[in-house]
Amino acid sequence: MHSVASGTLRKMLSRLEDPVAYRFRLGDEEVPVNPLLGQTVALSFNGEIHCVYCGRETKKSFNQGYCYPCFQKLARCDSCIIHPEKCHFDQGTCREPDWGEKFCMQDHIIYLANSSSIKVGITRATQVPTRWIDQGAIQALPIIRVRSRLQSGMLEVMFKQHITDKTNWRSMLQSDGELLDLEAERQRLLDVCKEEIEEMRDRFGFFGISILNGVDTLTIRYPVREVPDKIPSFNFDKDALVEGTLLGIKGQYLIFDTGVINLRRFGGYGIELRVQ
């Protein structure tokens, strides 16, 4: 096998094509992933982990790539990122007000996606369609646009009473690509939550909560040749070497004939990529 690239791992870059085009990021190097399908690929962990924010070496990674001090101080690592309905920017207690202004006080999209099943989710408007690709969704439909992360979180909590917000990663990887009627589910949710949506409009203003009409469902196809019946999950903390025939890429997962690995989980790890 020959070495192709090495460096600190970051989540794969993706571009919406048919199928989705992926690139590895290892330090300053970027390597197209799609051409590696069908080849024997090895990823080896050198034992070093560096914080994706400050670069310091750390024995343990937190929140997909941060050292503990950064995990404690950065707004992007606060619990309100996982639970946006708990956003406390307007209370003046944001860990990084400038970062919050840039990333949280901007337009967000509430959407439906077909990943392991139909689910509801939120993302910054600037992250469309990257967010959907990272989740491995084969369909996505924006349904509401709002002015802040807090508002999107409140709507997500409301919709979660009627639809899941979770993705089962094994089901996502093994999905046979069955297309679902997201438009019908959108209408059902808007109907059942009509009064609560109107209450939010009264609170935040009519133009603060914008229902999106006339938007078509986006269909996404991934470069997947085959998914094994059994898909054990690799973990660089336990398996310093991940090797096998690359069968596909979906979400942030590499699918090998020997198992799968979620690369996003291991941001900051020192990795060498080799190909036979």
Residues 76 and 210 in one domain: yes
Which residues lie closer than 8 Å to 79 by C-beta, 6 or more apart?
86
Residues 168 and 193 in one domain: yes
Domain of residue 140 covers: 72-218
**Domain count across the chain:** 2
Residues 51 and 76 in one domain: no
Alpha helices in the chain (DSSP H): 68-73, 79-82, 97-103, 130-134, 149-160, 169-174, 182-192, 194-204
C-alpha to C-alpha distance for 234 and 201, rounded to whole angstroms:
46
**Amino acid sitting at position 253:** Y
Residues 202 and 263 in one domain: no
Strands 29-32 vs 269-275: parallel, antiparallel or unpaired: unpaired
Residues 179 and 270 in one domain: no
204 SS3 class: helix
Alpha-carbon torsion angle 204, 206, 207, 211, nearest 10: 110
Residues 183 and 263 in one domain: no
The per-residue pLDDT for range 153-184, each reduced to its tens digit, is 999 999 999 999 999 999 999 988 899 999 99
Q: What pLDDT is stored for residue 175 in this prediction?
A: 87
Q: 270 with 17: CB under 8 angstroms?
A: no
211 SS3 class: strand
> Of the candidates 218, 243, 265, which is a domain's last residue?
218
**Amino acid sitting at position 156:** E
Residues 59 and 142 in one domain: no
Q: 259 with 232: CB under 8 angstroms?
A: yes
Residues 136 and 248 in one domain: no
Which residue is listed with tokens 């400050």?
54
C-alpha to C-alpha distance for 33 and 261, rounded to whole angstroms:
14
Residues 200 and 96 in one domain: yes
> Of the candidates 170, 197, 218, which is a domain's last residue?
218
Mean pLDDT on 210-239: 95
Residues 142 and 157 in one domain: yes
Residues 115 and 190 in one domain: yes
The per-residue pLDDT for range 181-207, each reduced to its tens digit, is 999 999 999 999 999 999 999 999 888
Mean pLDDT on 113-129: 96
Task: Give the residue from 260, 273, 274, 264 showing the smallest Cα distance to 52.
Answer: 264
Residues 95 and 17 in one domain: no
* 78-116 burial: b if 16+ Cβ within 10 Å, else e: bebbeebbebebeeeebeeeeebeeebbeebbbbbbbbb
Mean pLDDT on 200-217: 93
